[in-house]
C-alpha cells in the first residue's frame, strides 16, 4: 500500500510539474479585479499549491486575445470585450464566457484636442482614429449615427490602441477613441470628451476561454472564478488599498484610479440588459458589415455549467455555433 501511495504521489508530481496557465493582462480598460488578483498574488497562490504557474501576457486588443486563445497560446482571456467576441465568432472562433468583469460605459470615450471641434458633428471631414472591429469602432459608429453621419463623413484611420493616444496629441489625427487610463491621462493633458458610451451602447467586458480549455479543465475554470470573487470581496472591504494598487500598476494618481472606479461598473455576471444588448450589438455590427453574417452566439447549456451557479442561466456560453 505504501509503495502504491509513493508511485501515485510521484505520478501526480510529474504530471503537474511544469504546467502553467496563460492569462492575458490587458492594460486597458480598467480591470480592477485582475489588478488585485495579480498584485495581491491571489491567482498565483491558488494554483501554486498544485505546482501550476500563472503566466501573464500583455495583450490588450480583444480580437488578438480571441485569436491567441483559439491558437492555444493563452488559456484565459481575463478582460475581453464582447464586441471582439462577436467579431471573432464571425471568423468562426468559438469562445466560452466564464465570468463578467465590468460595464465601462463612462470610461470609453471619443476625445479630441482640436479646439475647433466642439461636438461630434464637427468631426465631418476630420481625421478620426481607433482600432477596427471592436468596442472602440462600435462607439465611433454609434456616435456618428446618432448625429446622422456615417463613417464616410469622416476620414477614418484604423489604428492600434497603443498608437491612437500619441497620434492625437501629435496632431496626426483630430480625434480618437480612448478608454480608461488613456482617457484620464488625456483629460489631464487638456483633451476633451465629445461623448462617452453612455446612451449610445453598453460595453461589456468578460472573462473568456476557448471551448477546448473549458472542456479539458473545468476545475481550473471554477478556481479562476473563485479567485475573481475573492478579488471582488477584497475591493469591497479594502477599496483604498485596491485603488492604490491600481494607481501604481497603471502609472496614474490615486484620484485618477478613483475616477476610473467610479465610472466603471464592476460586475461578476451578465444582467438581462447585457444579454439584450448583445443581440443589438450583433444586429448593428452586421449592418455595418463588420461581421459577414448574423451569428447566434447564445447557446443553451454548457458542459461546465455547474461552475456558474449565479450566472445567467442558459446564457453562459458564447460561441459561434450557427449562422442565420
**Residue 178: which of 163, 200, 189 has the closest Cα?**
163
Residue 115 CB partners (closer than 8 Å, separation 6+):
none
How far is C-alpha 184 from the chain's CA centre? 18
Angle at 252 between CA 247 and CA 256, to 5 degrees: 85
C-alpha cell at 155: 476620414
Burial class (CB in 10 A: 0-12, 13-18, 19+), 217: middle
- Cβ atoms of residues 61 and 55 within 8 Å: no
How many residues are given for the chain?
324
pTM of the model: 0.83
- Cβ atoms of residues 29 and 79 within 8 Å: yes
pLDDT tens-digit map of 259-295: 999 999 999 888 888 888 988 899 988 988 888 988 8
**Residue 197: which of 157, 146, 125, 240 has the closest Cα?**
146
Q: How many CB atoms lie within 10 A of CB 261?
A: 19
What was the pLDDT predicted at 2? 54
What was the pLDDT predicted at 299? 53
What was the pLDDT predicted at 268? 87
Q: Does 2-103+203-323 carry CATH code 3.40.190.10?
A: yes
What was the pLDDT predicted at 289? 87
Please name the fold of domain 108-196: D-Maltodextrin-Binding Protein; domain 2 (3.40.190)
C-alpha cell at 295: 451569428
- Cβ atoms of residues 60 and 80 within 8 Å: no
Tell me which H or E stretch contains 323. strand 317-323
Q: Is the dihedral of CA 280, 283, 288, 290 positive or negative?
A: positive
Ranges of CATH 3.40.190.10 domains, the chain:
2-103+203-323, 108-196
What was the pLDDT predicted at 254? 96
Q: What is the 3-state secondary structure (H, E, C) of 74-112?
A: CCEEEEEEHHHHHHHHHCCCCEEEEEEEEECCCCEEEEE
Instruction: Tell me the pairing of strands 192-196 and 127-130.
Output: unpaired
Q: How many CB atoms lie within 10 A of CB 140?
A: 26
**Residue 110: which of 69, 152, 68, 138 has the closest Cα?**
138
**Residue 79: which of 92, 55, 98 has the closest Cα?**
98
What was the pLDDT predicted at 94? 85
Residue 149 CB partners (closer than 8 Å, separation 6+):
120, 121, 123, 124
Instruction: Tell me the pairing of strands 95-103 and 265-266.
Output: antiparallel
DSSP state of 300: S
What was the pLDDT predicted at 1? 52
Q: How many CB atoms lie within 10 A of CB 49?
A: 7
pLDDT tens-digit map of 73-86: 999 999 999 999 99
Q: Which residue intervals of the chain are DSSP H helices?
A: 2-16, 32-39, 42-48, 62-70, 82-90, 135-146, 161-169, 181-188, 211-216, 218-237, 239-250, 254-262, 272-287
How many alpha carbons lie under 13 Å from residue 314 in its C-beta half-sphere? 2
How many alpha carbons lie under 13 Å from residue 225 in its C-beta half-sphere? 23
**Per-residue tens of pLDDT for the chain, all 324 residues:** 554 444 444 444 434 445 999 999 997 778 999 999 999 999 999 999 899 999 999 998 888 999 999 999 999 999 999 999 999 988 888 888 888 999 999 999 999 999 999 999 999 999 999 988 788 999 999 999 999 999 999 999 999 888 999 999 999 999 999 998 999 999 999 999 999 999 999 999 999 998 889 889 999 999 999 999 999 999 999 999 999 999 999 999 999 999 999 999 999 888 888 888 988 899 988 988 888 988 876 554 433 333 344 444 444 444 433 333
What was the pLDDT predicted at 297? 65
**Residue 38: which of 58, 61, 62, 66 has the closest Cα?**
58
Amino acid at each position: 500500500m505504501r509503495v502504491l501511495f509513493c508511485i501515485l504521489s510521484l505520478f501526480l508530481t510529474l504530471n503537474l510539474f511544469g504546467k502553467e496557465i496563460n492569462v492575458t493582462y490587458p492594460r486597458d480598460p480598467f480591470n480592477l479585479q485582475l489588478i488585485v488578483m495579480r498584485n495581491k498574488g491571489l491567482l498565483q497562490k491558488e494554483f501554486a499549491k498544485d505546482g501550476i504557474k500563472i503566466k501573464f501576457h500583455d495583450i490588450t486588443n480583444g480580437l488578438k486575445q480571441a485569436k491567441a486563445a483559439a491558437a492555444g497560446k493563452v488559456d484565459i482571456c481575463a478582460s475581453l470585450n464582447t464586441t471582439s467576441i462577436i467579431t471573432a465568432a464571425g471568423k468562426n472562433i468559438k469562445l466560452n464566457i466564464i465570468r463578467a468583469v465590468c460595464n465601462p460605459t463612462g470610461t470609453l470615450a471619443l476625445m479630441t484636442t482640436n479646439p475647433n471641434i466642439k461636438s461630434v458633428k464637427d468631426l465631418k471631414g476630420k481625421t478620426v482614429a481607433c482600432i477596427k472591429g471592436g468596442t472602440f469602432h462600435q462607439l465611433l459608429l454609434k456616435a456618428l449615427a446618432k448625429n446622422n453621419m456615417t463613417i464616410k463623413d469622416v476620414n477614418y484611420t484604423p489604428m492600434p490602441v497603443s498608437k491612437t493616444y500619441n497620434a492625437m496629441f501629435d496632431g496626426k489625427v483630430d480625434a480618437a477613441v480612448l478608454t480608461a487610463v488613456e482617457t484620464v491621462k488625456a483629460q489631464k493633458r487638456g483633451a476633451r470628451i465629445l461623448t462617452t458610451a453612455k446612451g449610445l451602447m453598453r460595453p461589456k467586458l468578460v472573462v473568456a476561454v476557448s471551448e477546448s480549455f473549458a472542456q479539458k479543465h473545468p476545475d481550473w475554470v471554477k478556481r479562476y472564478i473563485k479567485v475573481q470573487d475573492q478579488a471582488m470581496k477584497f475591493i469591497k472591504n479594502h477599496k483604498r488599498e485596491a485603488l492604490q494598487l491600481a494607481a501604481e500598476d497603471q502609472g496614474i494618481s490615486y484620484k485618477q484610479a478613483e475616477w476610473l472606479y467610479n465610472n466603471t461598473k464592476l460586475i461578476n455576471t451578465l444582467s438581462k440588459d447585457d444579454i439584450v444588448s448583445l443581440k443589438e450589438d450583433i444586429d448593428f455590427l452586421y449592418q455595418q458589415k463588420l461581421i459577414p453574417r448574423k451569428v447566434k452566439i447564445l447557446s443553451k447549456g454548457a458542459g461546465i455549467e455547474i461552475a456558474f451557479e449565479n450566472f445567467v442561466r442558459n446564457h453562459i456560453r458564447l460561441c459561434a455555433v450557427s449562422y442565420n
